[in-house]
Chain A
């Protein structure tokens, strides 16, 4: 997608986008789309379908519970009597 300007295949993209935008702004409900609205995807499935959110959770949880909590305890070891 970096080379979007060089791509003849995508040359018409902008005008299609404008058409779509105008259609959206017109707020003219089309009967076809009203009949079959896209079914809402449950929250858990959206979570499982999002690799970067999972990556975030999979790194942050062990960093906090294992590493940060552990390092805090190590720094709080008192001097021996």
Chain B
């Protein structure tokens, strides 16, 4: 009985039923498989989070994003006045999270790689790219550089999925992915 002390003084040496041992072995091996699956994916998989990160003053980061946006601005987003920036393929793209927006809007080309810089100007935010469903935490003071290669064209929403205050649910952003040579 689980509410009584073990019946024999030395229970460690009692035999264990075979079915139980087999299950323990299965659980152990399955654990190893799941463990090595993560390592395997780092070597052969294409979706791994970048480890490129540096400390940055939030104001300095905002300055970098503004300079980037000025250089690569191609138009404004509808009537919102939010700039749309189209970085060079293979180059750097910047986005800043701040209460309550993702800024600026980006336009990327399908199949091209970009170094996407993410950081926050104030609180923690969550970069949630939809509908592809990529979710990355964004901290103030940490500049995270993720190399992404969009593999489908279309309009993608960026939702904030880390609670950042009472206006959290209006915090949105956008990334356009166009066929190479189009857009602008």
Contacts and interface: CB of A to CB of B under 8 A. Distances in A.
Interface in A1-59: 39, 41-42, 44-45, 48
11 contacts: A39-B10, A42-B10, A45-B10, A48-B12, A77-B55, A77-B142, A79-B54, A79-B56, A80-B54, A80-B61, A80-B143
Interface in A52-81: 77-81
A52 B126 CA distance: 41
A18 B40 CA distance: 67
For the residues of A in contact with B, the DSSP-based class is: loop
Interface of B: 9-13, 53-56, 61, 142-143
Interface of A: 39, 41-42, 44-45, 48, 77-81
A44 B54 contact: no
Given A77-B142, A80-B143, A42 B13 contact: yes
Contacts, number: 29
A45 B12 contact: yes
Contact of B55 (A41, A45, A78): A78
Contact of B53 (A41, A44, A77): A77
Given A77-B142, A80-B143, A41 B54 contact: no
Contacts of B12: 41-42, 44-45, 48
A77 B143 CA distance: 10
Contacts of A39: 9-10
